[in-house]
A and B are shown apart, each in its own frame.
Chain A
């Protein structure tokens, strides 16, 4: 699923590569004069895992917002799955959002609804029939290991569990891209590692994952492409050569097989 010659960090100047799912071309984003993103260019290939890191206020969230087209560049062009920010109409934004899953540091679950209702909710909104919703809930909640706790309210779950619900919610409509904005920010290292493992598994099943964090400790363990942002600019963007212990265990392999199968069905 993943290829060895990722075109990471390279600007594709020629015709768009069909494997490019996200492209930034000399992008600026200014909030009242102050530039949060400053002349940023990079591309993300289909199925790639990109870790965006940098200090607080560097512009990580801003980059993710640009991808979700919740903000539009003040200069340059953002391309997501073939849709250009400059040609984006307001009517088309919802269609783009259906291809993107979003996870936040603060989970953003609906506090007055059960785990299952939180996940049903995002499917109702896009018109998935009831029978399919029941099936999907079972699938994603099993995948994040929370099917038994599906009737609980978010406050009756640990932080790590809540974040897994949020990930299940982001993945239930089978998006092609998952944006995770500091998903481990509120979690202890053990829970954080669990979330990261989950993101890896999602990525293995073919979804492009963008993961932002200001925690360099987490980044060091990655054998992934890491992009360092500082003051709105890309400081470095490289694929680590560090051999990592990401040997999938048997359970993971089973999960991956199951996940791949599901994606084909949806």
Chain B
């Protein structure tokens, strides 16, 4: 599309803004870097929170208690029926004896009072663990409804309130970080766009002459788009660097915190480049015509 001489020119011009306005560019990258740092931190918190929630959700389970008086064959027949229910990951049989043992263990020193019983009052039950996709209120309810109608089942227990709270907090946090991210995103685009506008205003005469001698619009725009992209990239690297540094300082004190993976870091920087590109495009809206205002 372009000849060699033009490519060389474009590459040089892409860095010309940095060279001619070191301070403006430096401040831009600093401001953007800070905004992106907020964005990265928020992402990291969301990531960690998601991780924690995922772990917590793994604890969501269900106890299906059975009526007394079922014989062992009847009880055993339930096992395959439970396993095929969508969302059920694992089914464990808990006999009255096991239940009693667990109960005793829970009582600790006071376990002695149970010796007064001449028979085991605890019913047999099944312990269901759920697939990750089913660890939410809706799925749990659906499973419960399906099982509740079985004649063999006397009661179903699960930690409903806890699931409720977990869900609503996850949602609220996701919304909040989405809003903050959006604001930070717009601010970053605005900052970049302003700097590119400055560069373009300073180059108004250059642009006019380029149009006059027949430079294509694409050709005219490339250096400014490149400038925005490079600024975005540097700001992204700065943000990641600061975050990494902070992580390194706090290392021992924050056990179990997950940091971005290498792919995620590259993804984030790519995102910053796209952000810079967006800012540049916003800056040159008024330069999109061929008008040279002779």
Contacts and interface: CB of A to CB of B under 8 A. Distances in A.
Contacts of A111: 205
Contact of B291 (A64, A70, A104, A124): A70
Contact of B6 (A65, A91, A121, A127): A127
Contacts of B212: 68, 97, 102
A41 B292 CA distance: 24
A104 B292 CA distance: 13
Contacts of B6: 124-127
Contacts of A108: 205, 208-209
A87 interface: no
Most buried by A among B206, B213, B291: B213
Interface in B1-56: 2-6, 9
Contact of A125 (B210, B289, B291): B210
B215 A125 contact: yes
Interface string A99-110: 000101000101
Interface string B194-216: 00000000000110111111111
A65 B214 contact: no
Contact of A124 (B5, B205, B292, B294): B5
Contacts of B292: 68, 70
Contacts of B205: 108, 110-111
A94 interface: yes
Contacts of B5: 124, 127-130, 133
Nearest to B213: A122
B290 interface: yes
B3 A127 contact: yes
B206 A110 contact: yes
A250 interface: no
Nearest to A96: B214
Contacts of B2: 127
Contact of A65 (B3, B9, B213, B294): B294
B154 interface: no
A98 B214 CA distance: 5
Nearest to A126: B214
The A interface, classified by DSSP as helix, strand, loop or mixed, is mixed
B217 interface: yes
B109 to A, nearest CB: 88
Determine which residue in B211, B292, B294 has the highest number of CB atoms from chain A within 10 A of its CB, and name it: B294
Interface residues of A, number: 31
Contacts of B289: 90
A95 B9 CA distance: 19
B287 interface: no
Nearest to A111: B205
Nearest to A64: B294
A57 to B, nearest CB: 16
A110 to B, nearest CB: 6
Given A70-B291, A108-B208, A127-B2, A94 B216 contact: yes
Given A93-B290, A129-B4, A98 B208 contact: no
Interface in A203-258: none
A212 to B, nearest CB: 12
B207 to A, nearest CB: 11
A61 B215 contact: no
A122 B292 CA distance: 15
Interface in A112-129: 121-122, 124-129
Nearest to A69: B290
A20 interface: no
Contacts of B3: 127, 129
Interface centre among A95, A102, A126, A129 (most CB of B within 10 A): A126
A126 B213 contact: yes
20 contacts: A68-B212, A70-B291, A90-B290, A94-B214, A94-B290, A95-B214, A97-B211, A97-B213, A98-B214, A108-B208, A121-B209, A122-B213, A124-B9, A125-B214, A126-B6, A126-B214, A126-B215, A128-B5, A129-B3, A130-B5
Interface of B: 2-6, 9, 205-206, 208-217, 219, 289-294
Given A70-B293, A124-B6, 6 more contacts: A93-B290, A97-B213, A122-B213, A126-B6, A127-B4, A130-B5
